[in-house]
């Protein structure tokens, strides 16, 4: 994935959050910190993921980026312009640079697909003719040219999301915010929507921010990721770095779901193997067994084939023979497969 750079070669910061907090008050007058002192920078041209479990505060955080939720404290910048101090008119203008898609699509049921796409253009003063010409191009971009006159109820979930993406792109935004945009879709449709978003990022040069609770979404599409829990950013880094070496307990739980974790704590006879792009056709475990002369027991696995490459992790139980263990580790080192000892290796507590 290519980033945009200035003439001096620096990475350009498109979005910047400085000590952003968002507080809500319940009916019982109890205050809840949905977002707590978050500072974050997102680069022009990248696909940035914000991942966390339900209730982590990630959806509130993304709504603070376009000020659908106004932060209780802190500042939000887009292209170095502070949105949190902008006038209502200025904010309307800046929001045209930020598109957004949602889990439930939010299409207008009484309007056709092409009318759904032209709607944000027409209300902003664009002529109907010009709006429809642009909408036709966007329908082609999302591979739904034949659905121009269809209504949302006639579409599948994946088709609805494609129309929602086209609508979000109608105003030619610099940023596309995706709030759990694939959570309501099946795995095959999810993969196709993520491939579309990646193509949009590459062809239209749109910076994309993806909110999700699924590590597989992050693995497939994102350049960098922020891990969020209880309103706080726990760690930020390249997807590969966090996948191979998670620092926080939240990241570890997201990478290795609870069903694949062991109940009796850290064990030195267990290795976690992390696959970050090896060919999915390679019989790694078979080769490991042949080369080491020892059998290993697979305790759990969470892997996926993406474009012929294997992504995910596997827990294996090592034999008691130390010589065999040495051979197994030597094989993994030779094949450059990342591994760590212990099913629940120690990490920084959240």
The full set of domains in the chain, from first to last, is 13-97+173-250 (3.40.50.300), 265-341 (3.30.70.260)
Predicted local confidence at residue 194, as pLDDT? 94
CA distances for 149 relative to 75, 110, 126, 153, 163, angstroms: 43, 12, 20, 12, 12
End-to-end CA, the chain? 31
Q: Read out DSSP for 5-59?
A: B-TT-PBPEEEEEEEEEEEEE-TTS-EEEEEEEEEEEEETT-EEEEE--TTSSHH
Q: What average pLDDT score do residues 308-317 get?
A: 76
Q: Which of 47, 55, 33, 43 is nearest to 1 (CA)?
A: 47
Tens-place pLDDT, residues 167-187: 999 999 999 999 998 988 898
198: left (phi over 0), alpha (psi -120 to 50) or beta: alpha
Q: For residue 117, report the phi and psi dihedrals to the nearest 5 degrees.
A: -75, -40
45: left (phi over 0), alpha (psi -120 to 50) or beta: left
Strongest mean pLDDT among 3-7, 175-179, 211-215, 281-285:
175-179
79: left (phi over 0), alpha (psi -120 to 50) or beta: left
Query: Which residues are within 8 A (CB) of 90 and not within 5 positions of it... i.e. 6 or more apart?
Result: none
Predicted local confidence at residue 346, as pLDDT? 42
pLDDT(314) > 90: no
Give residue for tokens 């759904």.
Answer: 116
Record the tokens describing residue 152, joined without a space: 């949302």
> Helix (H, G, I), strand (E, B), or coil: what is residue 221?
helix
Predicted local confidence at residue 20, as pLDDT? 97
Predicted local confidence at residue 236, as pLDDT? 96
pLDDT(207) > 70: yes
> Helix (H, G, I), strand (E, B), or coil: what is residue 73?
strand
Whether pTM exceeds 0.85? no
pLDDT(6) > 50: no
Tens-place pLDDT, residues 7-62: 334 678 899 999 999 999 877 778 889 999 999 999 999 999 999 999 999 999 99
């Amino acid at each position: 994935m290519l980033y945009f750079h200035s003439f001096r070669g620096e990475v350009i910061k498109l979005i910047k959050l400085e000590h952003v907090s968002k507080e809500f008050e319940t009916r019982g007058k109890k205050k809840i910190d949905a977002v707590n002192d978050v500072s974050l920078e997102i680069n022009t041209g990248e696909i940035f993921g914000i991942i966390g479990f339900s209730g982590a505060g990630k959806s509130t955080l993304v709504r603070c980026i376009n000020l659908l939720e106004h932060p209780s404290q802190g500042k939000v910048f887009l292209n170095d312009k502070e949105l949190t101090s902008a006038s209502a008119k200025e904010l309307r203008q800046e929001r045209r640079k930020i598109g957004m898609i949602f889990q439930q699509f939010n299409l207008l049921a009484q309007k056709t697909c092409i009318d759904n796409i032209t709607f944000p253009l027409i209300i902003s003063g664009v002529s109907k003719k010009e709006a429809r010409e642009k909408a036709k191009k966007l329908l082609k971009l999302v591979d739904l040219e034949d659905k121009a006159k269809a209504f949302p109820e006639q579409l599948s979930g994946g088709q609805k999301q494609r129309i929602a993406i086209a609508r979000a792109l109608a105003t030619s935004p610099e940023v596309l915010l995706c709030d759990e945009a694939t959570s309501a879709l099946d795995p095959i449709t999810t993969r196709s929507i993520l491939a579309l978003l990646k193509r949009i990022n590459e062809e239209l040069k749109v910076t994309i921010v993806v909110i999700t609770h699924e590590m597989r979404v992050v693995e497939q599409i994102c350049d960098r990721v922020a891990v969020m829990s209880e309103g706080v950013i726990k760690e930020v880094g390249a997807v590969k770095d966090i996948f191979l070496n998670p620092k926080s307990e939240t990241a570890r739980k997201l990478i290795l779901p609870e069903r694949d974790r062991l109940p009796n704590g850290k064990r030195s006879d267990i290795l976690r193997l992390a696959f970050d792009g090896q060919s999915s056709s390679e019989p790694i475990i078979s080769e490991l067994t042949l080369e080491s002369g020892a059998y290993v027991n697979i305790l759990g696995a969470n892997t996926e084939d993406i474009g012929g490459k294997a992504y995910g992790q596997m827990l294996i139980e090592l034999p008691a023979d130390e010589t065999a263990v040495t051979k197994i580790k030597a094989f993994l080192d030779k094949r450059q497969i990342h591994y760590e000892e212990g099913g629940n290796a120690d990490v920084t507590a959240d």
